[in-house]
Chain A
């Protein structure tokens, strides 16, 4: 017997390769989106800091904008630098 597969329609779900499940700022799942967004994924990306913490981009930007003096990671208080 020979089986010839013409087409395989599979189902997968995408997920961020992150070391945590939820954003430390908004506490929403990374695989969802930040409170201001409607659509996850491309429209609400994650960003990583050099301290290896990651957040929804919108969340961390909001946080950084609210910081007057020094821009720190809200988790570890190290200076926030975007990971290249």
Chain B
């Protein structure tokens, strides 16, 4: 061969005397190096080697050996390997394929073994310092040989290798996991039920080849490691198997399950997997000199050790296993975070129950860089699932509150909360009933939403005042910088509050709105009360005082004081009455809530003429009050309050009905005269007909009155026969009782607009005529006292002026407004 020629050439150069000796020595050496198993006489080899290297031929030896290896590989070994691997073409079943895979590698090893043996001997000879056999160039001889093997073998790998390897590893994995699993926890591995199919290798039990598979695995690992191919051949397969398995397991176990932590469980499982890995990489590990006998790290009993959630804290394995442990941990975290991000909305919705999931997520999120992904996904989940007209405001609030709680747990810096919940806050601002819902929640009368009330009564409320102050945080040492994704705005981290109530209140940027709303709610509650019992309201006000500060709750305090004063005045007046003689006793027992009008929210003004009997009682009451409090008098709100009465009809009595004054007034009129038309009643009561019509419905529902043609109402003295008919007349608005006594926002606004009317009139008097724009800008300029003007847009003003025009208080022509001429 060529090699021989080369050898002859060099021999010629070296001189003729030893030519024959060198040639012999070369023969000996090459033969010995190529002989399988190194059978040749050691001493002869050593001598020949010494001779050759003495002649300066040592270097060529290494080159020759590598060259031969390369030739052999490319001409025969590699094609043979691939042919063998592909040979049976899909005809075999899995077990066969595994066998073929193994044999192919076995053959490969067999073919290459002579070379490897030779290399080893050369190397050892060289190591003994008897001369150099390495050609020029970096790296040891063996290393270079392996590089050549790898290069030639895997230069154009067929996908079939990957497939086979993957399949084989998957199988051995399931076999291993099955065996270990049985030892670990029998419940985990699905036993028996498949009916005679071995869960490990997936074939009927009698054909089970679990043992065989494991043995094959061991051998394959051994071969691969010997050829230093392990990393190249198996890593990809192992990685994808691990990925797939972790994902699968997570799908099965964790999805939708938020109430339990999976970290430990997975850690145990991963340790088990590591056992399999240690089998795959067994030889590698052994080479590192560190213990792990196959299966040792994952052996039953061992994995239960680590109690910390850290997956890294395990037994010291070989470096390869350690690496894999890290990898798996990474896989796990990433996959887990991905899954939880998808589910975050549901997790938040179930929050206090899903705390475990949040904690897991927090742990994993810290190890993967996925905050941004989390934010985007959560935001869009909120937008698509929560922030649309189909969701009730109270539900949005409930989710928001859970989100605050959950994200507070997830990210103590509150950045996620702040960023992700921005859309919610923005959206809540557009809902009209947000404030009312929040206030209702605070006072504990919202259905279902008890969080706020309990939050309010929590021990250490951070007052809103405190947060507004610019005082620096307690300890500079405790300062931590904001995460990079924090929104750079004027809110410092210390003002990124985690307090639920302050977060809710700050939706609107001002607490005044809430306090006004609370005042309205409080007024309603107080006025609807039949007794003067205010214990609960006092408690609420005290709690709110801690939050909002004393000064803001001042009005509410006065309101509560009014209640207490009223009670006292009432009992005073009662006492006085009781001293009166029998005939002087007032015809009806009247008690009153006496308000300090300046401190109560504006109450609805409704006109209502009460029956004389009530008016007299009120007058008497006023007299007594005036006597009690000099220079003060009472202004009655006839439509407010409540009346308890009994109705005696011919055949039945209705007792203890509690109705509003207007209901009572109506029925009192029917006492005098048994039929009224709507008009007559309207005149008598001074109330609009539509209102009366609605109010009459209550009595119709009770079966006391009935309406007949021509809008006449009659008393139903004998009701039982009419029972059925009355059923038909269902109440038009049954929530009438709960009607709010305070004016609504829009009504208040109307009132404020009325305030402008004075200005407008004055301007028009002076300037004669003005356009809409002019009026608007003038108002902006001169009446810029409250927030009202700035809020009032030109359309609203136009609407207001139009109404004035309709009421003939204003004239408009060609877009110019003017006042009608006097007279």
Contact = CB atoms under 8 A, between A and B. Distances in A.
B454 interface: no
A8 B594 contact: no
A14 B625 contact: yes
A1 B648 contact: yes
B644 A7 contact: yes
Interface in A1-30: 1-18, 29
A5 B618 CA distance: 14
A10 B638 CA distance: 7
A4 B645 contact: yes
A2 B632 CA distance: 36
Interface string B603-645: 1000000000010011001100100010111111110111111
Contacts of A13: 594-597, 600, 634-635, 637
B135 interface: no
Contact of A2 (B599, B600, B648, B656): B648
B656 A10 contact: no
A12 to B, nearest CB: 4
Contact of B558 (A4, A5, A40, A48): A40
A3 B669 CA distance: 10
Given A15-B635, A32-B599, A42-B629, A7 B643 contact: yes
A56 B821 CA distance: 42
A11 B632 contact: no
B629 A1 contact: no
Interface in B640-674: 640-650, 656, 661, 664, 667-668, 670-671, 674
B767 interface: no
Interface stretch (B65-73, B296-304, B363-371, B585-593): B585-593
Nearest to A18: B631
A39 interface: yes
A39 to B, nearest CB: 6
B320 to A, nearest CB: 78
B717 interface: yes
Interface residues of A, number: 28
Contact of A8 (B617, B625, B637, B656): B617
Interface residues of B, number: 58
Contacts of A42: 565, 629
Contact of B636 (A10, A41, A46): A10
A77 interface: no
B32 interface: no
B597 A39 contact: no
A76 to B, nearest CB: 20
A4 B646 CA distance: 5
A1 B591 contact: no
A12 B668 contact: no
Interface in B698-714: 704
Contacts of A17: 631-633
B671 A3 contact: yes
B640 A11 contact: yes
B618 A9 contact: no
B621 to A, nearest CB: 8
A41 B597 CA distance: 11
Given A1-B671, A29-B598, A39-B558, A12 B648 contact: no
Nearest to A3: B671
B392 interface: no
B456 to A, nearest CB: 23
Contacts of B717: 1
Contacts of A31: 596-598
A28 to B, nearest CB: 9
A7 B589 contact: yes
What does DSSP make chain A's interface, helix, strand, loop or mixed?
strand
Nearest to B593: A11
Given A1-B649, A1-B671, A11-B527, A6 B644 contact: yes
Contacts of A12: 592-595, 618, 622, 634-637
Interface string B707-749: 0000000010100000000000000000000000000000000
B643 A5 contact: yes
B530 interface: yes
Interface in B778-805: none
B561 interface: yes
Nearest to B625: A14
Contacts of B594: 12-14
B144 interface: no
B530 A3 contact: no
B554 interface: yes
Contact of A9 (B530, B671, B715): B530
Q: Taking each of A1, A18, A32, A46, which has the highest tally of chain B beta carbons within 10 Å of its own beta carbon? A: A1
Interface string A49-68: 00000000000000000000
A16 B598 contact: no
A10 B561 contact: no
Contacts of A8: 588-591, 614, 617, 641, 643-644, 661, 664
A11 B589 contact: no
Interface in B307-341: none
Nearest to A42: B629
Given A1-B674, A17-B633, A39-B558, A11 B643 contact: no
A5 B586 CA distance: 12
Given A13-B595, A29-B598, A6 B530 contact: no
Q: Taking each of A4, A12, A13, which has the highest tally of chain B beta carbons within 10 Å of its own beta carbon? A: A12
Given A5-B588, A6-B646, A31-B596, A11 B633 contact: no
Interface string B566-593: 0000000000000000000000111111
A57 B298 CA distance: 89
B632 A16 contact: yes
A17 to B, nearest CB: 5
B632 A15 contact: yes
B648 A4 contact: yes
A62 to B, nearest CB: 20
B814 to A, nearest CB: 40
Q: Taking each of B588, B631, B636, B646, which has the highest tally of chain A beta carbons within 10 Å of its own beta carbon? A: B631
A17 B635 CA distance: 11
Contact of B656 (A6, A11, A16, A29): A6
A17 B626 CA distance: 10
Contacts of A9: 530, 591-593, 641-644
Contact of A7 (B591, B596, B599, B637): B591
21 contacts: A2-B647, A2-B671, A3-B667, A3-B670, A4-B645, A6-B644, A6-B645, A8-B644, A10-B638, A10-B641, A11-B593, A12-B592, A12-B634, A13-B595, A15-B597, A17-B633, A32-B596, A40-B599, A41-B632, A42-B629, A46-B631
A-B residue pairs, 7 tightest by C-beta: A11-B640, A32-B598, A13-B597, A2-B648, A12-B634, A13-B595, A7-B644
Given A3-B647, A10-B618, 4 more contacts: A10-B592, A10-B661, A14-B632, A41-B632
